[in-house]
Structure 1
Amino acid sequence: MNKISVVIRNKNEAKSIEFLLTVLNKFYKNDIDEIIVIDNCSTDNSKEIAIQNSAKFITVEKFSYGSSANLAMEISKNEIVVLMSAHVFPVSHDFFKLILDKFKNSSNQLAGLRCLHYSSDYKLYLNGISVKENLNGCGLMFACSAINKNVWKDQKFLDNIITNEDKEWTKRVVNKGYDIQFVPSIFCYDIKRNSKQNFFRFKNETIIQYQLWGKSKTIKQIFQDFFLENMGLLKGWILNAFYSFRKMIFQIKFYLNKPRKI
């Protein structure tokens, strides 16, 4: 295990993938053996950008999260595969070196590495919490995680899973005796979803949370969530309107009575 393949999943994220590929080629070129873009029928110029940045470009028409992850592992030529979304980018200067060292110094039972992004990631990592103690919090997140291809050959991803293919795989491989660990490779998750996208994500995650962890809410909890969410929105609107008014008043007073320049 001495080389790394990077596979990026993309759909109409030309601006994001251009930045990611620029970062990879500028700062990590010597750490990466190959870059592959798996694209879900983008209609923007993602393909041209990928080719200009020396990345292999593969189009997948019938996309699913599980099947795209399996394809990523299948076409990668190295034993260490870093799966990334187009809207992430590595930050730490030794991002890939840490991943490589972690695999080199671990047993063949190491199935994957979760990189750090959320504040909860840092806390779990610094507190030494293992994946057996917290499958969800310490398990892989395919927005940016490294995978042992040899373990994948034994336990492939589910092709037909709606979402959370990373969490399902985590649960399965840990039950089989493999390990997943944190690696202090830091990345930025840079995406803004609209209401429609958030609702689509919510539906899928509600289903998979029940399928994987048996979590579901009662009718009472559903109505409570609805009430609290909308009360929060109303409160936020009132506060924003109040401070917007105060800003206007302040600017008028400032305009009429400006302080002396320094």
Structure 2
Amino acid sequence: MLSVVIRTKNQAPALRFLLKNLTERYAGDVDEIVVIDNLSTDNSQQIALNHGARFETIEKFSYGGSANFAASKATHPIIVIFSAHSYPISHDFFKLIKKSFDANPNLAGIRCLHNSSDYRNYINGVTVQQDPNRSGLIFSGSAFAKAIWQKHPFKEDVATFEDKEWTTRVVAAGYDIELVPAIFSYEIKRSKNQELFRFKNDLVGNYQLWHQDVSILSGLKGFLASIKRYTIDWIVSIWFSLR
């Protein structure tokens, strides 16, 4: 049986669409829906309850901590995790996930496909050992086995990339991660402040997981490149607006 867990904070419109999609289009495939909410101030709770989902609140958010909390609240052996701003598309999305877990008892997790790099890795047979970043889990459209999570919980002291860190750890422990052609969409519009928050966490996460350090020189190059890009974009936009 299969549980869907959804991490969200103040994303009521996106959450409503995801739940409508799950309950109307995939009602026969999903056995449980749990919304993991980080102290939303909108009507997310009412939306969840209106769609028959269980609503759980997490007060102190971290990426790894919220993933552990979500997994602990799911009651079925296969857990599919979404962010509120992602949603399944292909008609056999959950059937493909169940089929993969049935076929491979050593399977720890599945990465579904949402962009061109996912699809290229799937078609070209790029394994998780070759590319743990793009062939490993992504916690906006992935599935994992609860039994393996219980042995190997997600790390809560990583800034982000808790999905990639878990991927590398369980693969090293001898389990499998597979790409599966179950298609989902990922769409989010972040404010500049949200982009900064994500950038800072990604920077720390890249260092923690991939040991990618940042020097003053590389930071300066990135800053100058951004100024150049914004200036060119502004000039081009003005030119075509005039035309």
Shared fold (TM-score greater than 0.5)? yes
Q: Which of the numbers 29, 41, 44 marks the counterpart of 2:42?
A: 44
Instruction: Tell me the amino acid that sits aligned with residue 186 of structure 1.
Output: I
Q: CA deviation at 1:111?
A: 0.7
Instruction: Tell me the amino acid that sits aligned with residue 49 of structure 1.
Output: I
Cα deviation digits, residues 63-89 of structure 1 (max 9, x gap): 222121112111211110001000001
What SS class does the counterpart of residue 191 from structure 1 fall into?
A: coil
What SS class does the counterpart of residue 244 from structure 1 fall into?
A: helix
Question: Identity over aligned residues, as a percent?
Answer: 49
Please give the residue correspondences for 1:202-241 in structure 2 after superposition, counting only pairs within 5 Å: 202-241=199-238
Compare CA radii of gyration and give the structure with the larger one: 1
Pick which of 124-133 and 208-217 moved more.
208-217
Instruction: Tell me the amino acid that sits aligned with residue 157 of structure 2.
Output: N
What SS class does the counterpart of residue 158 from structure 1 fall into?
A: coil
What SS class does the counterpart of residue 134 from structure 2 fall into?
A: helix
Please give the residue correspondences for 1:34-73 in structure 2 after superposition, counting only pairs within 5 Å: 34-73=32-71
Please give the residue correspondences for 1:84-95 in structure 2 after superposition, counting only pairs within 5 Å: 84-95=82-93
Instruction: Tell me the amino acid that sits aligned with residue 73 of structure 1.
Output: A
Query: What corresponds to 1:102 in structure 2?
Result: 100
Count of residues in Structure 1 that have an aligned counterpart in Structure 2: 243
Query: What corresponds to 1:162 in structure 2?
Result: 159
TM-score w.r.t. structure 2 length?
0.98
Q: Distance in 2 between matches of 1:18 and 1:195?
A: 24
Q: Distance in 2 between matches of 1:68 and 1:46?
A: 17
Q: CA deviation at 1:238?
A: 0.2
Cα deviation digits, residues 34-83 of structure 1 (max 9, x gap): 00001000000000000000000011112222121112111211110001
What SS class does the counterpart of residue 125 from structure 1 fall into?
A: helix
Q: Which of the numbers 124, 128, 131 marks the counterpart of 1:134?
A: 131
Structure 2 residues without counterparts, runs of 5 or longer: none
Q: CA deviation at 1:112?
A: 0.2
Instruction: Tell me the amino acid that sits aligned with residue 208 of structure 1.
Output: G
Q: Distance in 2 between matches of 1:127 and 1:162?
A: 31
Q: Distance in 1 between matches of 2:53 and 2:110?
A: 23
Query: What corresponds to 2:76 in structure 1?
Result: 78
Cα deviation digits, residues 4-63 of structure 1 (max 9, x gap): 100000100000000000000110000000000010000000000000000000111122
TM-score w.r.t. structure 1 length?
0.91
Instruction: Tell me the amino acid that sits aligned with residue 223 of structure 1.
Output: L
